[in-house]
Amino acid sequence: MGGTSSRSATRDIPAGSIAVDGTGHQRSLGYDSMPRGAPNPHSAPSDPRLRATGKDGYIYDALGRPSVDPNAVFVQDQVWQVVDESGESSMQARRATSSSSTAKRELQELHDSVLRVSIQWAKGLRNADWLSKSDPYCVCKLRTPIGELATGEKRSLRTPTINDCLDPVWHYEGIISGFERGGSLLFEVFDEDVLKSDFLGRAVVHHSDLLPDGQFEQELQLDDTGVASAAVLKVRVATTAFELAKVQAAARAHERLGQHELALHEYASAHEFMEEAGSLRSELGAELVEDMAIAERRRGEFSKALTRFREAQDLRGKAGALRTSAAADMLADLGTMCSVTNDVEGAREAYDAARRTYEQVGAFRSPEGATLLTHLGNLRLQSGDASSAIRVFNEALELQKQCGIDDTLQGAVLLINTGVAQHASGRIEEALKVFDTAKELMDRAGGLWTEDGAELLRNRGIALRQQGDFLKAKVCFKESKMIREQLKSLQTEAGARLLTNLGAAQAMALEFRAALSSCEEAWRIRLATGTMESSEGASLLLNVGCMRQAVGDLSGALAALEGAQEVRERTGTLQSLAGAELLRSIGSACMSLQDPARAIENFREARKLRQRLGALRNPAGAELVRGLGLALVQAHRIDEALQAYDEAKEICRASNCLDRSAGALLLHNMGCAKQAAGDEAGAMQCMTEAKATYERLGLMDSDVGKALQNSLTRGAEELRLMEERAKEHAEKAERDNALQKAAELEQRGEELAGKSAALKKTAQPDRHIELGLAEKAVRAYEEAVEIRRSLGKGPGSLSTPQGAHALAGLGAARALANNLDGTIEALSRAKDSLQLAGSLETVEGAELLGRLALARGKRGDAVGEVEEYTQAVDIYRSLSLLKTPDALVLLRSFGESRTELGDKARAIEALKEARAIHQELGSLGSEEGARVEALLNKLQDVPMSADKDPALEAAEEEIKKLQKEGPLATPQGAHALLSLGAARGRVGDLVGALDALAEAQKCYQAVGTMESEEGVAVLTNMAYAHEKRGDAAAGLKLYRQAKSLCESIDMLESETGQRVLKALTKAEETEPNGS
């Protein structure tokens, strides 16, 4: 098989190895940004190369107006790959000698035995039907050398039937396998009928008819037709070997014409032929798949090419043909495709396998070995290991010398790659020497006016630009442009890249309009070639934005920069140093358009990104932080700006650039900010230091020097106005920050208090954790209250509803922490705040008064309790909200407090009002309504009727329901029995109450929740029932048990605990000698 060699296909990439050059742009600030090897191999389909990135940007004058750093252009640079001049003939020779003669003979015999038979048409057939014409079909059968019909799969084929036709056209094609020397093909034509087909004629094609080239195509005269006139059959028969040779020759012809799509179509046909013949799993099959991979690569379909190369590797493995020179060539190509598709590990494995294979077959000390070393070197460079890449390139150079090809174009381009590696490692002088040597060699070999020559000049220009020699760099770029114009290759991605480099050099030489023209031309080329969606495309848009800003087109600049940001977001390259530089440039453009808020946002994103990448503490990082300071000044956030300037100053000092123009400009900006902040002494010190540097550098007559002098002599009135504005903004920011912090503390306190309250309601609360949460909530609220107090008067202070809310929260938290005095103090202050704010006569005010009344009642201040309840009820009444659940609870509590105070008449009045509302709402049967009814009856000495108590009925219904579901020894059953006992006690059924409560006690003990607030309720209710029956001693004993239980679960200070103590004290007074 004589396909195109896999090695020669690298001319499209172009061949050899992927080379990367670094970039670096000297800045007017007096420092260099060194190249960083972080290549990305996605590029134009015909030129897949790896890329390295650089960085730089703007500076600003002393007044914060953006000016353009002439070196602040971000450019990505590349070189072409080494061209492999080994040619197709050497590869074909490798393939020709890679297989054994026996294997090739067997494969040839297999291909000769598989025939592609095409039955095309017939003419002049006999009409075998009465009422219509014949319905002919044709059958092809394989006959052995002795004339017998062969049996088995693919030994015959049959065309479809064409009805009512004597001149049928079939164009039917099929496969016949097992064809032997001396054999033949029998073609028979029949008329298809329902019962039996009629014979219409036959013809034979013998083995000798296919000689010498393996094909036969002609019209055969049919025998035994049954008619006098001649009937003919047109057939075509070809061996698989002939078909393979034909399509592969066509494929190679298409490839020579650059018609890779058509070549792939022919290769696919060959692939199909070999599959049909069962010969694909062979070295010949592997070579075919390699040719398909090369065609895919030439089309720019790198992923498909990689898949094909892997398929070829698998086929060679199955054919036992991996230890040949051709296999080594294939592995090298596989490594290249892995590298282009970012599979660095896969590339390394493929290259290592290729090297081992070359060494095993004794072919490593050859031009192919040198090319492989170049691949390996560029892979090291792609991984960022420039030093290791240089060592590998040097080994390749030595091998080229041994092979006598070091004085060729291939040797020159390897020198270019070596220079790129030197550049990437920061050895600019050495890189330039290597580039000069390569240029001399290309001049001698007549290869300077080629693509490789153009790339050599471009890379030499990059190195010169890094050295600061912008004029020589510009000359190199223009010479490269002339070559590309001569070769008509300027309108390509490589041409766009060159124009970008030229624009950078022109910008550094302060030729901004020329630079903008070069960059916009590169932009147009990338749009035309569809290569804008890449890291390089984003960098080009960044350059366009810089140049537009330099010539005063601020809106156009921002549009270009935003386009660059969108490209980087789509390509996933925003989180890089290039992305950080882009964000910084957008911030600069936003400042120019008087949008400081957006500028600050972009500067901070850039700073955060540089810090994460470990690239903040260098001159570029200092410049970025200085830009952030300028934006903060523009937004009148002077204190934050000074912090940014301090950080930039520290970075400049660490990177030894404080005594350069960049450091002086920073000190100038810092002095202006200190003037605005009122620090006149600090401002004068900064500006004096800046002036000394400007004078030493001879810059006092420049624009920045004059601006500095103006700053030093600025009038006091302007300073005063700036100070007032800065102070006003600073105070507002400080107050906003304080209020924000207070709100966060209050939210934290509310969350902690909620957790404490929830824990308290559990069956077995951990009192230690509960109190700990409550104390943390208290501390959070106290800090928030102190912040609001420090604000004095005004929005958000303690004299506002927000302040009252904070005090109320503090009171609630202190209540959870059992600090009753602190609770009363906080709630009283909250009440005063609401009064000052005119917001006490609200629902919130009434709720606050209710909580304050409850706290005063716990402290024993019955008079204060009644006063607070009275005021709260009056507020609900004035708001017409007495019919709400909260208001009814408050009204009942008011009645209870009046009872404690001895004001029975007022208590009855309040409770009657509550009962009337419950009756109106239909809620007298609720737990709250039943409680009001019981209190009122108790005060009026009216026993309740058991058959009229809705709460009792509800409790009994619940018990019945639970009994149907199962035993009552559950938490729900215990609670229902407790409710039943309480309801029976309210209606005077003391015996029934004690029975229910005793059952409830057993249930709580059974489920392990007796040590809880519900357990205390069981004991106190039992004690109360014994007292009512006249058994004071039993009641006293139970009250004491309830007190002990409160102490054990740490709830003696709670409202429940206080009621138990009060009842116990009363019982001890009644039964002083009780046990």
Sites in the chain below the pLDDT cut of 50: 1-93, 96, 715-717, 719, 944, 946, 1074-1075
**Both tokens of residue 832?**
């005063």
CA-to-CA separations, 170 to 126, 127, 163, 582, 671, in angstroms, rounded? 17, 18, 12, 67, 94
- The reported pTM is 0.48
Rg of the chain over Cα atoms, rounded to whole angstroms, equals 48
Q: Judge whether 485 and 499 are in contact, CB under 8 Å.
A: no
- Residue 958's pLDDT is 82
Q: Please state, as a whole number, how many other Cβ atoms lie within 10 Å of the Cβ of residue 314.
A: 13
Q: Please state, as a whole number, how many other Cβ atoms lie within 10 Å of the Cβ of residue 708.
A: 27
pLDDT in tens, 739-764: 888 888 888 888 888 888 777 766 56
Sorted by sequence, the CB contacts under 8 Å of residue 1034 that are 6+ apart come out as 1023, 1026
**Both tokens of residue 1020?**
């106190």
Residue 13 to residue 615: CA distance in whole angstroms: 34
- Residue 941's pLDDT is 66
- First-residue to last-residue Cα distance in the chain: 116
CA-to-CA separations, 11 to 20, 80, 83, 531, 687, in angstroms, rounded? 17, 11, 6, 21, 61
Handedness of CA 1026, 1027, 1028, 1030 (dihedral sign): positive
Q: Which residue has the tokens 């090809």?
A: 405
- Residue 723's pLDDT is 60
pLDDT in tens, 855-890: 877 776 777 777 888 888 888 888 888 888 888 888
Residue 636 to residue 631: CA distance in whole angstroms: 9
Is the bond leading into 971 cis (omega within 30 degrees of zero)?
Answer: no
